[in-house]
Structure formats: structure tokens, C-alpha cells
Amino acid sequence: MGTVLDVSDIYKEFLISKRQQRILGTKKRKIVAVNGISFGLHEGEIFCLLGTNGAGKTTTLRMLAGLLKPQRGEIHFGNKTYLHDEDEIKQHLGFLTSDLKLDGAFTPNYLFDFFGHLYHMDAESIAKRKKDLFSRFGIDRFAEVKIKNLSTGMKQKVSIAVSLVHDPDIIIFDEPTNGLDIITSREIVDFLKELKNEGKSIIISTHIFEIVDKLADRIGIIVDGKMACVDTYEALTHDSKIEDAFYEKYRQWSTQNE
């Protein structure tokens, strides 16, 4: 099994404005969000990035998706990098953000076409893909309803459909079931399993142990911007539940790095 994505020692810090300093109750001028993270994504696996709020999951995934530039470290897709092959990488990559941000004034139909064109797809391929994904997620009935009038669950399904318009083979989903009702969560989990069975390589971030139990082949535990551990689901749950394994790694790492 090959490695489709190699992440080596990536680092990202943010400068904090005076206003943010007040809100966060800190005098620090910068936050190190991701502090030297390395791991690889194997072909056809689901890799779960597991961590508490503020651990650095979103920042990591935004760098992998090419939306943020690491200040240090390297990201390789085979022999391709964002520096030289950004368009080609993006043709193969689907990214779902954790903050819903589809423009409420548009309809699922319009947005799907819009993103299809961004990926240089022809009208026929877009229409076929839309038919598949919209019926898969029950979006058809809402295709002409403005996003702002859809339920949270339906908005998320539209976001997922749109992120996959170009049928990418590397899929990066940031907290895909966060804040959703149990039915929608279940639908998304089942869908991710299907994508894996189709041979897609998938990274999801989550802080929900149930999701890890259902989906993870391998797990990266991220604590305070660092990778505390990367291992298979089997190894981590050999003699305890994933929740206990997480707390154990979290405790070990926090005491070592105090």
C-alpha cells in the first residue's frame, strides 16, 4: 500500500491582535497552532486526527488543503508539492471545512455547478455527478431552496456534495459530523465508509470517540500542536477503549512536555 500524502514537520504560528489578546486573556504575541507535525496518509485508508478543541487539527488540515502555508516543513503528494503543482494537487483533493460557509443566498443546484466549473468540469459531467450525489444525500428535493433556508444537517450534506463534485481521490474532512443530529451523523459516517470502499484515501479530524470507533484505520493523536502518537486503531485499542487510550496518551504527553 502506497503513501499518497506525506507530511513532514509542518509548523504554523499566528500573531495575536490586541483584541484577541484581551479575549483570550493572554499577553502572548503569537500562538503556535501546529508545532512540527509529521505523518503519512496511506492509499485507501481512513486516518483520524483526534484531539481536543484548540489542539491544532483545523490548522493542520488547512495546510494540507493548501489554504494556509506552513512556515516550516513539507507536504508532498507523491512527488508533487503546492509550490510547483498546486492546480494538479487540487484536482485530486476534496476539502470540507468545519465552519459551514456556503453562501446562504445561493441554491445547492447553483453552488454545485459553480464549483464544478471551478474544477474545469464540463456540463455533462457536472450534471451526472450532481444526480448521483444529490440523490445519495436526498438533496434533490431541496436543489432550488436557498442554503439559508435549509436545516443544519442538509447544509452539511450540500457542503459534502459540493466538496466532492470533482470526484477527488484524497478527501480531507474537518469535523464532518460536528453539531449534527444523530441521523445525519450516521448518514455521513456510512458515506465515508462507502468512499473508503471505493478506494479513496481519507483524513478526518474529530474529537468524537464514536466516530473513531466506526471509521479509523489509523489514528493520529494531536496534543497542543504536536503529534503525540500515530498508530493503528487495532494497536491503540488492543487492551483498552479508544477513549482510555486517548486519555493515557494525552496525560503522558502533557506531563512529558510541561
Distance separating alpha carbons of residues 153 and 164, to the nearest angstrom = 17
**Shortest Cβ 17–ligand ADP spacing (Å):** 8
Residue from 29, 54, 198, 240 touching ligand ADP (CB under 6 A): that is 54
Q: 68-80 in b/e burial notation, b at 16+ Cβ within 10 A?
A: bebeebebbbeee
Residue 166 C-beta: closest distance to ligand ADP, Å: 25
Q: How many residues does the chain have?
A: 258
Size of the site for Mg ion (CB under 5 A): 3
Contact positions with ligand ADP (CB under 6 A) in 215-244: none
Q: Which does 220 bind (CB under 5 to 8 A by kind): Mg ion, ligand ADP, none?
A: none
Minimum distance of ligand ADP from residue 142's CB (angstroms): 29
Choose between 38 and 98: whose C-beta lies nearer to Mg ion. Answer: 98
The answer to whether 86 touches 66, Cβ cutoff 8 Å, is yes
Residues 23-42 that bind ligand ADP (CB under 6 A): 31, 33
Residue whose CB is less far from Mg ion, 55 or 133 = 55
Cα-based torsion angle of the residue sequence 255, 215, 47, 198 in order, rounded to the nearest 10 degrees: 180
Radius of gyration (C-alpha) of the chain in whole angstroms: 19
- Is residue 37 within 8 Å of residue 7, measured between CB atoms? yes
Contact partner at residue 153 from Mg ion, ligand ADP, none, CB < 5 to 8 Å by partner kind: none
**CB-nearer residue toward Mg ion: 201 or 205:** 205
> Does residue 59 interact with Mg ion by CB under 5 A?
no
Q: Strands of 43-168 (E only): list them.
A: 46-50, 72-76, 93-96
- Residue from 5, 41, 47, 58 in contact with ligand ADP (CB under 6 A): 58
Name the packing angle between helices 152-163 and 108-118 (round to 10°): 20
CA distances 69 to 38, 62, 82, 171, Å, are 15, 9, 9, 19
Look up residue 175 and give its three cell numbers. Answer: 469535523
Cell of 209: 470517540
Q: CB 183: neighbour CB atoms within 10 A?
A: 9
Q: Quick one: 57 or 157, whose CB is closer to Mg ion?
A: 57
56 binds ligand ADP (CB under 6 A): yes
Member of 33, 46, 51, 58 binding Mg ion (CB under 5 A): 58
Question: Closest distance between Mg ion and the C-beta of residue 209, in Å?
Answer: 16
Q: Which residues form the interface with ligand ADP (CB under 6 A)?
A: 14, 16, 31, 33, 51, 53-59
